[in-house]
Structure 1
Amino acid sequence: MIEGLEENNIMKKEINVLDYASEIMKAVEKGVLITTKVGSKVNSMTASWGTLGIEWGKPIFTIFIRENRFTKQQLEENPEFTVNIPIGEFDRKILGICGTKSGSTTDKVNELNLSLEEPESISVPGIKELPLTLECKVIYKQKQDKNAISEENLKACYPQDVDGSFHGANRDFHTAYYGEIINAYIIQ
């Protein structure tokens, strides 16, 4: 019951996610936010790896989260997330801060003064500044198999000469989280 829903003067327009597939994937290439929540702690991280598709007859957004990220800890405790996608002009500093600071030591939502919007079906909020919102529940996860990744991609995406505990290090492998898209809307 999203269409026409008004909450604190905020409208949400329900969308068919497949009608926005091109916009979503173009945004992923440049960066979107993945937002998680455990208790009262909301965290957003920038991601430029993700896929949109159909699996098991359901619309799915798959995110790839490195093993040492705070977002992974949150997803393990609460397997829900929102994908927050910009439409038009927006403050690119949002992606910069959310892509360079760890949620374990920084309250990025507070630092950026982001406007959290109540979700419809999950516990994780949307973000008004990046209004195209996918509410997702994890229905499958899988760790990457190092032996199944080409040597070229191992060297390019997983350099082993950087300490994995360093925030921003990219030597750690990913877990793929397959999120069933429960709701999709644009915050207006």
Structure 2
Amino acid sequence: MKEIEVFDYSNDIMKELQKGILITTKKDGKVNSMTVSWGHLGIEWGKPIFVCYIRTGRYTHQMLDSGEFTVNIPLDRDKNGKLINYCGSHSGRDVDKVKKLGLHLIPGIEVSAPAIQELPLTLECKIIYRQMQESSKLPLEMQEHFYPSDKDSSFGINRDQHEMFFGEIIKAYIAD
């Protein structure tokens, strides 16, 4: 493991976020990873922060009650794109993604959520704040596109609202 200064990798993290990265959680002994492409990296309350946006109907949303997560970022998109796509199109309620994909988990250093060897750029985060988004404050065309009232939780884009999870980055590294 090579510890890193997270902001030295901010361009890499944000470029990969646009294509999809994983948020990994662990609760009651179960590990789940979900693809996200909404988020940001920055400073809040004088702390390095990664913010992810998770719909309330997602399995990961309930797993985040653990109070922590890891952010798993590929260094080789060509090699790991299918893995990220799979995690974004299958629910952890229905399938053990770690087992199905043969992921190699590395125990977290400061959190119980693991790093993933296949996606080695890792941010360990403790949730210090969470807040529901108010979609009613968005322009109508965005409300209709991102929160269509006729789509339930089983659809990718659906009526479920997003909650923002502010994770203080307490450890950043490239896993071996």
TM bracket (short chain): over 0.9
Q: 1:154 — aligned with what?
A: 143
**Does structure 2 conserve the Cα–Cα contact (< 8 Å) formed by 1:102 and 1:167?**
no
Q: CA deviation at 1:185?
A: 0.1
Equivalent position of 2:47 in the other structure: 58
- Corresponding residue for residue 38 of structure 1: 27
Alignment partner, residue 73 of structure 1? 62
Q: Residue 169 of structure 1: CA displacement?
A: 4.3
Report which stretch shifted further, 167-176 or 111-120: 167-176
Aligned to 1:87: 75
Identity percentage over the alignment? 53
Decide whether the 8 Å contact of 1:37 with 1:81 is kept in 2.
Answer: yes
Correspondence for 2:36: 47
Contact preservation (8 Å) 1:90, 1:130? no
Which AA in structure 1 matches 2:134?
D
CA distance in 2, matches of 1:91, 1:185: 18
Deviation at 1:79, TM superposition (A): 1.0
Deviations 1:98-146 (A, max 9, x none): 0011101110000000000011101110000000000000000000112
For the pair 1:183 / 2:175, whether they are aligned, the reply is: no
2: CA distance, partners of 1:115 / 1:109:
8
Paired AA for residue 18 in structure 1:
F
Correspondences of 1:3-42 after superposition (within 5 Å)? 12-42=1-31
Number of matched pairs: 175
Given residue 108 of structure 2, which amino acid in structure 1 is its aligned partner? P
For the pair shown, the structure with the greater C-alpha radius of gyration is: 1
1:120 paired to 2:109: yes
Report SS of the residue matched to 1:65: strand
Query: Would you say 1:135 and 2:138 are equivalent positions?
Result: no
**Which one has the bigger helix percentage?**
2
The answer as to whether partners of 2:58 and 2:153 remain within 8 angstroms in 1 is no
The runs of 5 or more residues in structure 2 that have no matched partner are none
TM-score normalized with structure 1 length? 0.90
